[in-house]
């Protein structure tokens, strides 16, 4: 069973393949994807990182993420275009997101443990 970020990425890829999203079109915002899929911001960020890694999307700082337009990605004179992440940079970005999510989960578990130790929560809840 695919993880939520994989489902989000595949849904957007399918929209691109079928022409629902064309090169140069803005991808849905993070908040729109969070609402549509009932996902956390980190999950949506992972999906976007995957699309960028695979060359389906690129970021334009301050403007958002867009469906890859080969002309933009290959144009060294376009300072707004960020070439889709690949190789080591994409892996580092994915690892940073995973680490951030793990830290968030650890903080939640620590808070639960402290509540249990303080007797504020019944075991099994």
- Kindly report the CATH number assigned to the domain that includes residue 63: 1.10.10.10
Q: Is 27:12 a contact under the CB 8 Å cutoff? A: yes
How many domains would you assign to the chain?
A: 1
pLDDT higher than 50, residue 78: no
Is position 64 within any domain? yes
The number of beta carbons lying within 10 Å of the beta carbon of residue 66 is 20
Q: Where are the alpha helices (DSSP H) in the chain?
A: 4-17, 30-37, 41-53, 70-74, 87-117
Is position 90 within any domain? no
pLDDT higher than 50, residue 27: yes
Is position 76 within any domain? yes
pLDDT higher than 50, residue 123: yes
Mean pLDDT of 71-80: 46
| Distance in angstroms (rounded) separating the CA atoms of residues 53 and 40 | 20
The number of beta carbons lying within 10 Å of the beta carbon of residue 1 is 4
- Give the domain range for residue 55: 4-85
| Distance in angstroms (rounded) separating the CA atoms of residues 125 and 75 | 55
Tokens of 11: 């849904």
Grouping H, G, I as helix, E, B as strand and the rest as coil, residue 26 is strand
Per-chain mean pLDDT for the chain: 80
Q: Give the dihedral sign, CA 4/10/11/12.
A: positive
Is position 21 within any domain? yes
Is position 63 within any domain? yes
Half-sphere CA count of 95, side-chain side, radius 13 A: 6
Half-sphere CA count of 20, side-chain side, radius 13 A: 10
Is position 58 within any domain? yes
């Amino acid at each position: 069973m695919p993880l939520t970020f994989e489902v989000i990425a595949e849904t957007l890829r399918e929209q691109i393949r079928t022409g629902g999203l064309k090169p140069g079109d803005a991808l849905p915002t993070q908040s729109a994807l969070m609402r549509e899929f009932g996902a956390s911001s980190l999950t949506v960020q992972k999906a976007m990182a995957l699309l960028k890694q695979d060359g389906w999307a690129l970021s334009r700082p301050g403007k958002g993420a867009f469906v890859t337009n080969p002309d933009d990605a290959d144009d060294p004179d376009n300072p707004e275009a960020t070439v889709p992440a690949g190789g080591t940079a994409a892996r580092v970005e994915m690892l940073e997101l995973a680490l951030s999510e793990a830290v968030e989960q650890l903080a939640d578990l620590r808070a639960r443990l402290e509540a249990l130790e303080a007797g504020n929560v019944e075991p099994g809840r």
